[in-house]
Amino acid sequence: MIRAGAVVLGTLGTLGALVSAPGVMLAQTFEGIITMRLNATGRGAATQGQAAMPQQMEYQVRGGKVRVTLGGGMAGGMAMLAVPQEQKLYMLMVAQQSYMEMPMVPPQAAAAASTDDVKVTRTGRKEVVAGLTCEHVLLTPAKGEGTDMCLTTALGRYMDPMQGMRRGPAPAWQKQIADGFPLKVSLPDGSVAMEVIKVEKKRLANDLFSVPANYTKIAAPGGRPPG
pLDDT higher at 4 or 146 = 146
Chain segment 103-144, per-residue pLDDT in tens: 876 554 434 443 467 889 999 999 999 999 999 999 898 888
DSSP string, 35-100: EEEE---STT-EETTEEPPPEEEEEEEETTEEEEEE-GGGTTTEEEEEEGGGTEEEEEETTTTEEE
Architecture of 32-42+52-217 per CATH? Clam (2.50)
The pLDDT assigned to 102 comes to 86
Average pLDDT over residues 52-68: 85
Asked if residue 221 has pLDDT above 80, the reply is: no
Instruction: Show me where the domains of the chain are located.
Output: 32-42+52-217
| Residue 19 in this model has a pLDDT that exceeds 50 | no
Residue scoring higher pLDDT (221 or 111): 221
| Buried/exposed code over 143-180 (b: 16+ C-beta within 10 A; e: otherwise) | eeebbbbbbbeebbbbbbbbbbebeeebbbbbebbbeb
**How many CA atoms lie less than 13 Å away from 46 in the CB half-sphere?**
5
Q: Between these two residues, 118 and 150, which has the higher pLDDT value? A: 150
Q: How confident is the model at residue 12 (pLDDT cuts 50, 70, 90)?
A: very low
Question: What CA–CA distance (Å, rounded) separates 158 from 150?
Answer: 13
Residue 13: partners with Cβ closer than 8 Å, 6 or more residues away = 162
For residue range 63-98, list pLDDT tens digits in order.
Answer: 889 998 875 444 456 888 988 888 888 989 888 899
Distances (CA, A) of 16 to 53, 116, 206: 13, 24, 24
Q: What is the pLDDT of residues 160-216, one digit of tens each?
A: 665 555 555 556 777 788 788 999 999 998 899 999 999 999 999 999 999 999 999
Looking at per-residue pLDDT, the higher value among 52 and 193 belongs to 193
Cβ neighbours of 37 (radius 10 Å): 18
* pLDDT at residue 75, as a whole number: 45
Report how far apart, in Å, the C-alpha atoms of 213 and of each of 207, 208, 210 are: 10, 12, 9
pLDDT band of 32, cuts 50, 70, 90: very high
| Burial class (CB within 10 angstroms; exposed 0-12, middle 13-18, buried 19+) of 212 | exposed
pLDDT, the chain, mean = 74
